[in-house]
Structure formats: C-alpha cells, structure tokens
Amino acid sequence: MAKAQNQKSKILYLMQIFLEETDEEHGLTMPQLIAKLEAYGISVSRKTLYTDIADLSDFGIDIIGEKVGREYIYYAASRTFELAELKLLVDSVQAAKFISEKKSRELIKKLSTLASRHEAKQLTRQVIISGRVKTMNESVYYGVDKLHQAINEDRKITFKYFQWNMDKEPELRHGGKTYTVSPWSLIWDDEYYYLVAYDEEAGKIKHYRVDKMQNIARTDEARAGQEEFESFNVSTYSKQLFGMFGGEVRKITLECKKEAAGIIIDRFGKDVIMQKISDDSFICVVDVAVSRQFEGWLFSLSDIVKITAPADVADAVKKDAMSFASRF
C-alpha cells in the first residue's frame, strides 16, 4: 500500500530529489534518478522519466540537461534564493544580537533547506563572530511577530519591561508595572530591535528595546497617537538618537575636518548639508537628541569633530569633558 501511494506521488518525489540532490555543480544521470526513485519504492521507465522532467519544467522547476562524456546529467539550475543570497541571510542571522544562539541555529537550519545538500554545506561556514553578544531573551523572536500583528490590526499592546541587575538577572522596572502603549513602528538600530509607540498616559512618543519586553499581548483597544504619527518619520527619529537614548532634540552645529565627511554621512545620511569653510574643513547642522551617548560620540571624534552651537549645549559638553578628564 505504501509503495502504491509513493507511486502516485512520483512527481513530487522527483522534484524533491532535484531540489535536494542537484545544483549546477552536481547533476544526476537517468540511471541515478531511477535508482533514487526506486529507493522510495517507485518504479519508473526512462520514457516516463523524460515526460516527468518535462512536466516539472513546465511547472516552473528550472531543470537543465547537459551532455557530459557519453551520457546526460540533469540538475535544478535555479531556486527561489541563489546561494549568495542565502549566505547573506545566514550572515545576518548569525550577526544579529536580537536573535538568540538557539534561534540562530534553528533559522540557519531552515535556510539550508532552500539549497541543495551540497550547497548547504557552504552555509555552515558563514561569519563566525568571536565573542558575539546574543540576546538572552529567547521570546524576542516571537515578540517581534506579535508587535507586527498588533500594528497591522491597529490595536494597543500590554507588556512588562525589565533591566539587568548586577546579579545578571532580569529585574522588572517600576515594580513590575504593566505598560500599555500603542505600537506604531519597529526599528532595527545598533543591532537591536526597538518598538516605537505612543504612550497615551504620558502624551508622547517613546521607544522600547524589544528584547527587554516580556509578556507582550495584544488588546482589543484601538491604537491612539494617530495625529502624532501622521508627520512622524522613522528614519529621522533614529538618526537623531544615539544608541537609541532619548533626549531633547536640538539643532547642533558641528565643525568637522574633511576626513570626518564619511563619518557624518554614515551617521546622518547623504541628505545632510555640509558647507565647506576651507579646503580642510566643513560645518553641518543636524538634529540630535542630546544625551550622554551623543557626548560620548563627540569625545571619540574630538580630534576631527567639535560642537560650536548652540552655546548652552557646547558649554555642557565642555563641562562634562572636563569632569570626565578629572577622573584620571
């Protein structure tokens, strides 16, 4: 009975053999294809196999037949994803902090099924990052999906928010308070996922690191904050923040040496206006959420970037720089 059932599914088994066993570097001859089908309890003649291969080609499976020596070999020439694309996806999964080690292995294993077994071996060699810090919150993978669902369904969410304590244990913020917000967007910044949401109680837009959110649940209440997000630009918002730390958004004038041009463009985008003041320097005006993280960025570039306006922000940066230096 099982063999009879397999015989009915012959075309499916043949497609599986082509996708799993063959690629441009690894083909199968007619006798080899017949033998592999027989291993599944399926008997087939050469004439029938030619017809089946033609049917698969008509269906959209790109099967190529090439003469090698005295015989023809057949292989699946293309798939939904090229090997180079799968390598890129595997690299991204391995490098992403917000995906746990366990989930990374599971995803890479699934991605490997999209290549032949020969090509899949190449996917295991991708980016080995020494000491890579991966998230300790296994639920973040499913949390992102829940957040997307709530956004698509125009519903508020509830969750608890935690921080790590000195014992390396999660500690709920605000005594375990349940947060209720209206989710509007997700940002991947500095290798972490952040939820951008409207806090109706505070009357403003806030963001939260998804891997620090627990017990995410969709409510039946419609989202608030429509007016605030009508003019909201996610790209601009993320550019203004350093390390996704908030602060008052100010227009900051930076005086930079020419070698800082690439750094400024990488940080603020190609649309930033850079006005030359000499052959070796330029100034630019950018919107920045002023924070200690922004100051740290300035300190790291102190030999090629300096803040010149507004005066109160420049003075505050100088004061903090002196305070920092006095500790050593």
**121-139 average pLDDT score:** 58
pLDDT higher than threshold 50 for residue 149 = yes
pLDDT higher than threshold 60 for residue 99 = yes
Instruction: Report the candidate in 211, 155, 210 with the shortest Cα–Cα distance to residue 183.
Output: 155
- 8 A C-beta contact, residue 272 and residue 227: no
In the chain, the amino acid numbered 324 is: F
Backbone φ, ψ for residue 56 (5° rounding): -65, -40
- 8 A C-beta contact, residue 220 and residue 236: no
Instruction: Report the candidate in 142, 115, 134 with the shortest Cα–Cα distance to residue 210.
Output: 142
pLDDT at residue number 87: 87
pLDDT higher than threshold 60 for residue 2 = no
**Domains of the chain: residue spans and CATH:** 2-76 (1.10.10.10), 83-123 (no CATH), 148-232 (2.30.30), 249-325 (3.30.70)
Please give the full DSSP string across 179-221, using - where no structure is assigned: EEEEEEEEEEETTEEEEEEEETTTTEEEEEEGGGEEEEEEEEE
Beta strands in 228-296 (DSSP E): 249-257, 274-278, 281-289
- DSSP bridge partners of 178: none
pLDDT tens figures, 250-277: 899 999 998 889 888 877 877 888 899 9
Q: End-to-end CA distance of the chain: give it in Å, rounded.
A: 82
The pLDDT mean for the chain works out to 84
pLDDT at residue number 125: 53
Distance between CA atoms of residues 270 and 254, nearest Å: 16
pLDDT tens figures, 185-233: 888 776 678 899 999 999 988 889 888 899 999 999 999 999 888 877 7
**How far, CA to CA in Å, does 304 sit from each of 262, 267, 268?**
12, 15, 16
Distance between CA atoms of residues 199 and 229, nearest Å: 12
pLDDT higher than threshold 80 for residue 6 = no
Distance between CA atoms of residues 167 and 95, nearest Å: 26
pLDDT higher than threshold 60 for residue 75 = yes
- 8 A C-beta contact, residue 285 and residue 253: yes
Query: Which two structure tokens, joined as six digits, stand for 315?
Result: 């003075």
**98-114 average pLDDT score:** 85
The pairing of strands 213-222 and 249-257 is unpaired
pLDDT band at residue 1 using 50, 70 and 90 as cut-offs: very low
**Is the preceding peptide bond at 310 cis, omega within 30 degrees of 0?**
yes
Query: Which two structure tokens, joined as six digits, stand for 308?
Result: 């010149």
pLDDT higher than threshold 50 for residue 63 = yes
pLDDT at residue number 131: 46
Element (H, E) at 95: helix 83-95
**How far, CA to CA in Å, does 250 sit from each of 16, 197, 247?**
59, 21, 9
In the chain, the amino acid numbered 6 is: N
pLDDT higher than threshold 50 for residue 128 = no
Between 325 and 63, whose confidence is greater?
Answer: 63
**How far, CA to CA in Å, does 202 sit from each of 98, 107, 179, 197, 254?**
28, 38, 11, 11, 32
Give every CB contact of residue 166 below 8 A, 6+ residues apart in sequence.
none
Percent of the chain beyond pLDDT 90?
42
3-state SS, 286-322, equals EEEECCHHHHHHHHHCCCCEEEEECHHHHHHHHHHHH
In the chain, the amino acid numbered 218 is: R
pLDDT band at residue 138 using 50, 70 and 90 as cut-offs: low
